[in-house]
């Protein structure tokens, strides 16, 4: 079983905030698969299903970002999921919106949610999909910025990217991180070729 874990804060107050991109993406994925989230007997909401007989679980913690590791540990322990079968969806203020990057393992990069997951799992060896929320004109307090809401234009951009991110999510569920990375590279290469062709035609 694969676990797709979105970092975010629970409650309407934090809906559509930058720190909640993990929740936003999981809601999009669940909608595409016609799944509904329900409360677990632990510190998270979950939705589960199968893609081509490959089981998965989507997880949205109720612990708030800084204690995300509690919910991650609960889910992996209960479902007997190895850490390399965990994909964390996380915001990254060091990436300009809407850049997307994949990473197979590593440190927390200053993100409290990742720090908590690493601490509670006792391992850095889990994949993560990092979604850029940064800006070139960053001028406010970091905590205020990450808790600010996406604009409607930004939400529209996220929706436009949702098919690409769903392909990555599906690839991870079917074949794991390495296959997801190859799909990421394939799609990016196609986009680059398309852009170069467009520049030549102009």
Cite the active site residues: 19
SS3 content of the chain, % helix, strand, coil (to 5): 50, 25, 25
Write the burial class of residue 111 (CB in 10 Å: 0-12 exposed, 13-18 middle, 19+ buried): buried
- Are the C-beta atoms of 111 and 92 separated by less than 8 Å? yes
Long-range contacts of 30-33 (CB under 8 A, 24+ apart): 30/58, 32/162, 32/166
Query: Within a 10 A sphere around the Cβ of 143, how many other Cβ atoms?
Result: 9
- Are the C-beta atoms of 159 and 151 separated by less than 8 Å? no
Q: How is 149-175 classified by DSSP, letter by letter?
A: BPPHHHHHHHHHHHHHHHHHHHHHHHH
**Residue 88 parent element (H or E):** strand 86-96
**What are 59's strand-pairing partners?**
5, 46
């Amino acid at each position: 079983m694969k676990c797709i874990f979105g970092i975010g804060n629970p409650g309407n107050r934090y809906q559509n905030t930058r720190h909640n991109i993990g929740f936003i993406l999981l809601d999009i994925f669940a909608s595409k698969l016609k799944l509904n989230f329900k409360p677990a007997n632990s510190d998270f909401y979950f939705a589960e299903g199968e893609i081509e007989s490959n089981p998965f679980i989507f997880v949205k913690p109720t612990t708030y970002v800084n204690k995300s590791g509690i919910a991650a540990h609960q889910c992996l322990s209960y479902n007997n999921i190895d850490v390399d079968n965990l994909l964390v969806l996380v915001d990254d203020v060091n990436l300009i919106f809407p850049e997307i990057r994949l990473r197979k393992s590593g440190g927390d990069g200053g993100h409290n949610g990742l720090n908590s997951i690493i601490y509670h799992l006792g391992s850095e060896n889990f994949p993560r999909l990092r979604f850029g929320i940064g800006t070139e004109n960053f001028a406010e307090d970091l905590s205020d910025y990450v808790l600010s809401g996406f604009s409607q234009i930004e939400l529209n951009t996220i929706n436009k990217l949702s098919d690409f991110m769903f392909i990555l999510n599906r690839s991870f569920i079917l074949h794991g991180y390495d296959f997801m990375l190859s799909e990421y590279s394939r799609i990016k290469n196609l986009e680059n070729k398309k852009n170069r062709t467009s520049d030549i035609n102009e």
